[in-house]
Structure 1
Amino acid sequence: MTTRPADVDLRRNARAAWAVFAVFAASGATFATWVSRLPAVRDGLDFTPGQMGVLLLTGAVGSVVALPLSGMITARLGAARAVTTFALVAVAGYALVCVGVGTGTALAVRVGLVVAGIGFGVWDAAMNVEGAVVEQRLGRSIMPRFHAGFSLGTVAGAGVGSLAAHAGVPFVWHVGVGVALTVTTALVCVRGFLPTPHAVRADVPEPDCADPAEAAPAHGLRATIAAWREPRTLLVGFVVLAAALTEGAANDWTALSLVDGFGAAESTGAFALALFLAAMTVTRLAGTRLVDRFGRVTVLRAGSVAALVGVAVFAFAPWLWLAVVGSVVWGASAALGFPLGMSAAADEPQHAAMRVAVVSTIGYAAFFVGPALIGLVADVVGFRHALVVIALPVVVGLALAGNARPLRAERTA
C-alpha cells in the first residue's frame, strides 16, 4: 500500500509534538533538580536570605545576556542544534555549581549559575520556537501542553529532590547525576524535531511560500532590532514578565518560605513545591481546551486574579496546611501566562524566533529582578510576606492581557 504524503506529514508532526514535549520536560526536570535543593545550598554556603537572593540573581544574569541573541542563534542553527549545543552548556554550568557547593566556594557557584543561565536561556527560546512551529503545523492550540511537559518535569525533579533530601543524599551527587540524566534525555529527543525548512544564509534571498509555516525565518541583527521596535511584542513581553515572576517566585522561595516560616523540614518544603508544580501541570494539560473555548485574553485575566488570591493566602496563612493550599491555587493561576505569551509572540511563523527571543528576554527579567528584590525584602519581613511584592506586576499583566489577542483572529475579523 502506498503511503500518502498527508499521512507522512501527520506522523512527522505527531512525532515532533512528542519530541518537543519531552524536551520541555527535560528542561523542567533539570531546573527543578537544582531549585529543590536550595536549602542545602543555603546551608552549604551559610548564606543569609539576602545573599541567597543575590545568588539566584547570578543565574538570571546569564539568561538575560543570552536571550537577546537567542532568536538569531536559533534561526541560524535550527531549533534542534540550538537545544543540543546549549543544553551541554547548561550541564557544564551545573557541574561547576556542584563543585562550588561541595567545596563551599561561593564564587564557583556564581560562575556556574551564570554559565547554566546562558545555556538555559537559548535552550528555552529554541524549544519554544520549535513548539510554535509544531503548533502552526497542527493548526490548533497546543503550546500549553508543551509547557505542561516542563511542569511535569519540574514535578518529577522536585519530587526526586524531596526524596533525596529526606534520605540525606548529598547535594553534589543528587544534582550532578540528575542533571546529567535529564540533559541526555533532551539530546536524544531533539532528533524528533521537524527538519529546518531552509538553511539560513545572508547571501540567499528568502523564497516565496504559500504556507507561512514554511517561510524562511527572519534572521540577523536587523531583524533582531526590528522585533524590539514592535509595540505589541513588547507589551506581550510584559505580560510574560508578570507570569514569569509569579511562577519564578514560587520556584525560588516556596521551599525556603515554609522551612523558615513554619519550621518545617526541608523535605516538607520540597513537597510543597512539588504540589505547586503539580497544580501548574494539571492546569496546563487542561489549558488548551480553556483557551479554545474562552480565548487567550479571558484566560490570562482569570489567571491574574487567581494569582493574587493564591499569593495572599500563601503569604498570610496562619497554618502550614493553609499555606500549602495557597501554593496550589498559586500554581494553577501561574500555569498559562508564559505559554500563551509564547504563542502570541509566534503568531506569525516567519518572525517567531525573533519575537520569542524578545518576549523571553523581557520575561526572564523577572528572574533578574525578582530573586534579589524578594531576598532583600525577606531580610526585613521574612520570606512568606516578602512574596506579596509580586502583586504589582500581576496587576500590570492583568491590564495588558488584551495585547495577547491572536493576530490572525484580528485580521480575519
Structure 2
Amino acid sequence: MSKQGIQKWKLSLFIIFSLPGLAFSSWISRTPEVRETLKASTSVMGLIIFGLACGSLIGLLSASRIISRKGTRFVALISVLIVIIGIFVISAGVFSAFKSIVFAGLIIFGLGYGLAEVALNADGSALERAAGKTMMPALHASFTAGTLIGAGLASAAILFKVPVLVHLLLIAGIEFILIFTFFRFLPEDTGKEDAVSRRQEVSSEKPVNVWTEPRTLLIGLIVLGMAFAEGSANDWLPLTMTDGFHVTHAQGTAVYGVFLTAMLIARIFGGAFLDRYGRVPVLHLCTAVSVIGLSLVIFSGNLTAAVIGVFLWGIGASLGFPVGLSAAGDDPKGAVKRVGAISFVGYCAFLVGPPVLGLLGEEFGLVQALTIVLIGIVLSGLVSRAAKQPAHQKNVHDTNSHSM
C-alpha cells in the first residue's frame, strides 16, 4: 500500500476507534436519569445493564469467524451500525419507560460493541505491520478520547436539560455520519481468509487453536492483569475515593478524571517509547509505576499522596491492553483469532473483575480490596517477556519502517 493510502487508513481508523467510546460514555453518563425514568431499583438497573455485557460477549465470541469471511472493514461498519440500532432501541425504551425494551437495546448495543472491539483491534494490528510503527496505544488513546468527549457532551446535555432521548439520538446521528464518511478508507481484505484457506484449516489434522498456544496464554495473562487494573478504576475509583478518603462525590469524580487523563497521555506518547525501547522494558516500567501508584492509594492514608498514586496508576495501566493486542497480531497468520482471544480476555477482566472487587470491598473496604488489583499487576509484569516481538517479525517490521 502507498504511503498516502496508509495515512488515510490511519486517520480513518483513529476516528472510528473513538466511536464505541463516544457511544458507551454517552449512555453511561445518562444512566441516573434513565433509572429515574424507568423507576428501577439499583438491583433492577444492574440486571438491565447486564444486557450490555451479554451482547458484548456474543459479539466478542463471534467476531473472528465473521471477520475471516468478510474482513475487518465490513465488520467495523456493521458493528457501528448495530451500536446505532441499539441506541435507537434504548431511546425508544426510555421514551416509553419500558425496562424490557431498554434491556433489549443494550443487548444490541453490546453486540455491536463486542464486534467493534475485535474488528478495530485486528485492523489496528494490521496497520502496525503495514506502517512499521507501534500504533495500538495511540489508537486506544483515541478510544479514551471518545469516552471523554462523550462524557463532556453528556455533561453539557444534562446542564442544558436536553432530554435523554434527544441526546442519544444526536449521538447516533454523529456516529452514522462519521462511520459512513471514513470506513471506506480501511482496506477491504484485512483479516479475510479465502475459501481455500478455510477448507485447508477445516481438513487439517491439527487445526489452529490459539487457546493452546503458550505465548498467547501468557499474553492473555498480561492483558488480564492490566485490564483488571483499568476496569476496576472505571467502576470503583470515584466510590473508593469517597469511601476511603471522605471526599465529596464531585471530588471523587475529579480524581477519576485524573486517572483518565493519565491514561490518555500515556497512550498518546506510549508508541514512541515502545518503538525506541521495546515492549518488554516498557511493560516492566509500567508494572513498576502501577505498583508504586496503587501502593500509595492503598497504604498512604493521605489524600494528596493518593491522588498522585491514581495518576501513576493510570500511567502504568495504560499500555498493557494495547501492547498485548499488538503482540497477539505479530504473526499475520491467525492474527484475527489471537486478537479476538486477547480482546475476549481483556473484556472478561473488565466484566468479571470489578464485581469481585465489589464483594471484597463489602468485606474489607474498597481501598484495601485494591490489593487484589495490585497482585494482578505484579503477575502481569512477571510474564511480560511473552510480549517480545519474534525476531523474524521484527525484521519485517524494520524493513517496512525503512521503506516508508
Q: Answer whether TM exceeds 0.5 for this pair.
A: yes
Name the counterpart of 1:136: 129
Using the alignment, how far apart are the partners of 1:224 and 1:179 within structure 2? 41
- Cα deviation, 1:29-80, whole Å, max 9, x if unaligned, reads 22222334455556665544x7766665542332223223211211211111
What's the secondary structure of 1:92's corresponding residue?
A: helix
Unaligned runs of 5+ in 2: 396-404
Unaligned runs of 5+ in 1: 1-7, 207-217
- Asked whether the 8 Å contact 1:155–1:278 carries over to 2, the reply is no
Using the alignment, how far apart are the partners of 1:340 and 1:166 within structure 2? 38
Name the counterpart of 1:342: 325
Name the counterpart of 1:234: 217
Tell me: CA distance 1:141–1:197, structure 2 relative to 1, closer, same or farther (3 Å).
closer
Give identity over the alignment, percent. 32
Using the alignment, how far apart are the partners of 1:317 and 1:155 within structure 2? 29
Match of 1:248 among 231, 238, 242: 231
- Asked whether the 8 Å contact 2:93–2:102 carries over to 1, the reply is yes
1:198-213 equivalences under 5 Å are: 200-202=193-195, 204=196
Using the alignment, how far apart are the partners of 1:43 and 1:308 within structure 2? 39
Using the alignment, how far apart are the partners of 1:109 and 1:241 within structure 2? 30
The alignment's TM-score, normalised by the length of structure 2, stands at: 0.83
1:264 paired to 2:248: yes
1:33 paired to 2:26: yes
Q: Which moved more, 1:82-91 or 1:95-104?
A: 95-104
Using the alignment, how far apart are the partners of 1:185 and 1:221 within structure 2? 41
1:357 paired to 2:340: yes
- Cα deviation, 1:203-239, whole Å, max 9, x if unaligned, reads x359xxxxxxxxxxx9879898522221211221121
1:65 paired to 2:58: yes
Kindly provide the amino acid, as one letter, of the partner of residue 280 in structure 2: V
Tell me: CA distance 1:47–1:399, structure 2 relative to 1, closer, same or farther (3 Å).
farther
Name the counterpart of 2:389: 406
Matched residue pairs, number? 392
Using the alignment, how far apart are the partners of 1:344 and 1:248 within structure 2? 21
- Asked whether the 8 Å contact 2:230–2:317 carries over to 1, the reply is yes
1:102 Cα offset (Å)? 5.7
Q: Which has the higher contact order (CA 8 A, sep 6+)?
A: 1
Using the alignment, how far apart are the partners of 2:308 and 2:180 within structure 1? 36
Q: What is the CA RMSD across the aligned residues, in angstroms?
A: 3.4
Kindly provide the amino acid, as one letter, of the partner of residue 344 in structure 1: A
1:12 paired to 2:5: yes
Using the alignment, how far apart are the partners of 2:211 and 2:131 within structure 1? 28
- Cα deviation, 1:168-195, whole Å, max 9, x if unaligned, reads 5444443443344235423422111123
Kindly provide the amino acid, as one letter, of the partner of residue 16 in structure 1: W
- Asked whether the 8 Å contact 2:229–2:377 carries over to 1, the reply is yes
The alignment's TM-score, normalised by the length of structure 1, stands at: 0.82
What's the secondary structure of 1:350's corresponding residue?
A: coil
Name the counterpart of 2:399: none
1:394 Cα offset (Å)? 1.7
1:118 Cα offset (Å)? 1.6
- Cα deviation, 1:228-270, whole Å, max 9, x if unaligned, reads 221211221121122222212222233454566646345x555
Kindly provide the amino acid, as one letter, of the partner of residue 135 in structure 1: E
What's the secondary structure of 1:357's corresponding residue?
A: helix
1:366 Cα offset (Å)? 0.9
Kindly provide the amino acid, as one letter, of the partner of residue 297 in structure 1: V
